[in-house]
Structure 1
Amino acid sequence: MLQPVKIAALAAAMLLAAVLPGRAADTVTANDTARYLAGMAPSAESPLTPLTKDPAWQHHARFLDSAFAQLEQRQLSKIRTWADTNLSAPRPTMFYMFSGPDFLYANAFYSKASTYVLSALEPPGSVPDLMKLPRGGLGSALNNVEHSMGSILNFSFFITKLMKVDLRAGQLNGTLPILYVFLARSGKTIRDVSPVALDDKGTAYFANENPGPNATHGVRIVFAGSDGEQKTLYYFSTDLSNSGVKSSGFLKFCETLAPGNSLIKSASYLLHAGNFSTVRDFILVNSATIIQDDSGIPLNDYNPKKWRFFPFGRYAGPIGEFPGRYQQSYADLFRRSQPMDFGIGYRWRSYESNLLLSVKLPTDGSGSVDATPAAEPAPPARPKRPRQPAAADPRRSP
């Protein structure tokens, strides 16, 4: 016969077992938050599920369904096809300097990477508990998310002046909410999110660890695709100028993940300037392949004995916002370019976009090239320029 104390203990254990599942269900996971912000239904047991009945969220979901369907058809699917055709055996790491929260194009160009390192000036911010937003605040928060993504959904890049305002406004601030949306809309499942900070030696500190003064702050997101393979996304808020990287451990941290592949687009031609030479040299030394538009590394800074060039599209020169950045050597190279059927960069219309794939050659003759286009480029017939409705070029300044 059980003693009263044991009966009481058993009853308490049974009560605890009954209560814990309910408490677990009250927890809003990062993945459910990402899906909700992306206009996608969270898991059935999520506390956010009742909030999908809000007319503001339903309008938000319809807007993003339409916007991402168009983006997928117009660009992302074509970029993935281009990458599958022209890249083979990529490195596990990809670097994307001056990226903002642009995981969309990082994933489209280098979908086989297992570690993504994004970096820009914008702070990572945080994602608040959506269950605790003030009454009536949900609609304005979701509208701010839509507004923050407007330029990249339409033109393939963030407009810096607008992003500085958008990512500091409202309940949802910083790059993290946008990263959440892009991960969810790319079919990823978020498994863990944690703050990360780097000391001046490039050592990473997580959670409440203290990296000391002058730390570089960011966020680490562990996620998986449909195949279940675990991957990692880092985003760091950092100054990439020479003086900025000299006083931080960001490039030292990147060195621990090198060599990798790099993406550079809509970079305000900063790598053409002398005060960004350190990060430019880092990319050249630590990249097996570089995909860029003409706002990336100037062609004359590549050593032609170390690189093989594959131009795609049309080089029409920089937009008027960036005078003095025309490259005659780029124009000469693109006379033998291959066609491409998607737009990228500041000249976002497909018929005037340029893309350069640079492949580093083996240094000792014994290795294989990390990425090799399937066929040697041949000068194609220049397609007739299609008629397009007039539209003002968006502008982005450093």
Structure 2
Amino acid sequence: MRQILLASLLVLPLGVAAAEAPSPDATARFLAGMPAPPGAMLARLETDPAWKQHAGAFTAAFRTVETRQLGKIRAWSQANLTARRGTVYYLFSGPDFLYADSFFPDASTYVLAGLEPVGSVPDPAKLPRGSLASVTRSLRTSLHTVLNFSFFRTLSMRDDLRASPATGTLPVLYVFLARAGKTIRGVEFVHLDPQGTLNAGAAAAGAGTPGVRITFARPGGPDQTLYYFSANLDNDGFPKSGLAPFCERLGIGDGLVKSASYLMHDGHFSEVRRFLLRQTSTLLQDDTGVPAAMFGPEWELRPYGRYTGPIGLFAGRYQPRLAELFRRQPPRPLGFGIGYRYRPDESSLILATKREAQVLRPTLE
């Protein structure tokens, strides 16, 4: 795979050699508030009071979310997601690698997608004087809700990062990868044509679905691949995006849906809903995913936690079929908060598993 170091691709001024730029892994650690190895190019910036404040705030925030949620999610996943596949499809995700990795830590490939642009990551050593505080503050603000409540406020995140030299989803992905203990091996801009062919390089305006491919590894582990695509997933955009044929080439995988604004309850998102039901053998979701009434007899649904209905903002999305499922089958414990109902005693998940005979012979609608 041809790998491109993102920092050198995007932000080096004319006349500056690409070799002078820090690696994506070093940049990710810096943005995540984690110290660089001794002698590393960015180590000198760690004396900046803005970075020290940032490092302290992120260390405390990630320690808290690890204790409150992520450690419990990994334990739950190990006990309940026992037949994982190599690919995870997490649509409507934005840059939320944090929870994809916690639920499915051993996947070889992650495909994330959302409306948020891919964005850019600056070389911290070449930021204008005084702007480091703006970058780090924007990152902390944009991640506040996902670290405290498990979901992004998309518009707020977009506004927070738009005013910063670090834009879009890439800075967030960098932070999550670093804080998850991954080492970034390479970063490459890509784009999809409508037939799902993956092409290297940034897409020209209006030509293809823009994305990024990040290769990374955990200590002692094999290389893993993360794709993020900036795509409209409604019925107008999804068929043109190339995502469906691209993912079909990757094969049947596991699906994750969380805090998805109940979009797949709407007929305008029926294409992506059909895709997930066709392309996954396991679909883990909260109540904002595929409505319970739309799973056919080839699926077995297993409830976890407590279904208390939607929050007030989505009051019209109550699911009688889901409530019946929780009454009919004693739900298994969850032990952590997730989604819009982020308090542990109000959270619920559904683990939908396709019966084996249907995995290789998916239902076509």
Q: Normalized against structure 2, the TM-score is what?
A: 0.91
Q: State whether structure 2 residue 96 is matched by structure 1 residue 102.
A: yes
**Change in CA separation of 1:131 and 1:279 when aligned onto 2, cut-off 3 Å:** same
**Change in CA separation of 1:295 and 1:152 when aligned onto 2, cut-off 3 Å:** same
Question: Counterpart in 1 of 2:23?
Answer: 29
Q: State whether structure 2 residue 281 is matched by structure 1 residue 285.
A: no
Counterpart secondary structure, 2:125: helix
Question: Counterpart in 1 of 2:348?
Answer: 354
Question: Counterpart in 2 of 1:66?
Answer: 60
Give the whole-Å Cα distance in 2 for the aligned partners of 1:364 and 1:202. Answer: 24
Give the whole-Å Cα distance in 2 for the aligned partners of 1:327 and 1:343. Answer: 20
Tell me if structure 1 keeps the 8 A contact 2:298–2:358.
no
Query: 1:213 Cα shift?
Result: 5.2
Q: State whether structure 2 residue 47 is matched by structure 1 residue 53.
A: yes
Give the whole-Å Cα distance in 1 for the aligned partners of 2:19 and 2:242. Answer: 40
- Amino acid paired to 1:60: H
**What does the per-residue CA deviation read over 1:94-117, in whole Å, with 9 as the maximum and x for residues that have no partner?**
000100100000000011111000
**What does the per-residue CA deviation read over 1:299-322, in whole Å, with 9 as the maximum and x for residues that have no partner?**
01100x211111100000001101
Question: Counterpart in 2 of 1:315?
Answer: 307
Give the whole-Å Cα distance in 1 for the aligned partners of 2:161 and 2:260. Answer: 18
Give the whole-Å Cα distance in 1 for the aligned partners of 2:186 and 2:82. Answer: 29
Tell me if structure 1 keeps the 8 A contact 2:158–2:168.
no
Q: How does 1:5-154 map to 2 (within 5 A)?
A: 26-154=20-148
Counterpart secondary structure, 1:172: coil
**What does the per-residue CA deviation read over 1:325-366, in whole Å, with 9 as the maximum and x for residues that have no partner?**
101110111122111110001010000001111111011799
Counterpart secondary structure, 1:309: strand
Q: State whether structure 2 residue 258 is matched by structure 1 residue 265.
A: yes
**What does the per-residue CA deviation read over 1:187-223, in whole Å, with 9 as the maximum and x for residues that have no partner?**
0000000101011111011136x78953000110000
Of the two, which has the highest radius of gyration? 1
- Amino acid paired to 1:179: L
Give the whole-Å Cα distance in 1 for the aligned partners of 2:50 and 2:173. Answer: 21
Give the whole-Å Cα distance in 2 for the aligned partners of 1:320 and 1:365. Answer: 37
Q: State whether structure 2 residue 316 is matched by structure 1 residue 324.
A: yes
Query: 1:39 Cα shift?
Result: 0.5
Give the whole-Å Cα distance in 2 for the aligned partners of 1:260 and 1:216. Answer: 21
Tell me if structure 2 keeps the 8 A contact 1:271–1:297.
yes
- Amino acid paired to 1:320: G
- Amino acid paired to 2:22: V
Counterpart secondary structure, 2:224: strand
**What does the per-residue CA deviation read over 1:101-136, in whole Å, with 9 as the maximum and x for residues that have no partner?**
000000000111110000000001010111110001
Give the whole-Å Cα distance in 2 for the aligned partners of 1:190 and 1:307. Answer: 37
Give the whole-Å Cα distance in 1 for the aligned partners of 2:359 and 2:256. Answer: 26
Q: How many residues align?
A: 343
Calculate the aligned-residue CA RMSD, in Å: 1.8
Tell me if structure 1 keeps the 8 A contact 2:281–2:359.
no
Question: Counterpart in 2 of 1:276?
Answer: 269
Tell me if structure 2 keeps the 8 A contact 1:148–1:166.
yes
Q: State whether structure 2 residue 162 is matched by structure 1 residue 168.
A: yes
**Change in CA separation of 1:164 and 1:25 when aligned onto 2, cut-off 3 Å:** closer
Query: 1:245 Cα shift?
Result: 1.2
Question: Counterpart in 2 of 1:255?
Answer: 248
Q: Normalized against structure 1, the TM-score is what?
A: 0.83
Give the whole-Å Cα distance in 2 for the aligned partners of 1:39 and 1:116. Answer: 25
Tell me if structure 2 keeps the 8 A contact 1:78–1:341.
yes
Q: Find the partner of 1:214 among 207, 212, 225.
A: 207
Question: Counterpart in 2 of 1:294?
Answer: 287
Give the whole-Å Cα distance in 2 for the aligned partners of 1:212 and 1:140. Answer: 28
Give the whole-Å Cα distance in 2 for the aligned partners of 1:204 and 1:72. Answer: 35
The sequence identity of aligned pairs, in percent, is: 51
Give the whole-Å Cα distance in 2 for the aligned partners of 1:65 and 1:258. Answer: 37
Give the whole-Å Cα distance in 1 for the aligned partners of 2:359 and 2:166. Answer: 51
Counterpart secondary structure, 1:72: helix
Counterpart secondary structure, 2:213: strand
**Change in CA separation of 1:36 and 1:212 when aligned onto 2, cut-off 3 Å:** closer
Give the whole-Å Cα distance in 2 for the aligned partners of 1:283 and 1:364. Answer: 14
Structure 2, gaps ≥5 residues long: 1-16
- Amino acid paired to 2:228: Y
Give the whole-Å Cα distance in 2 for the aligned partners of 1:361 and 1:186. Answer: 33
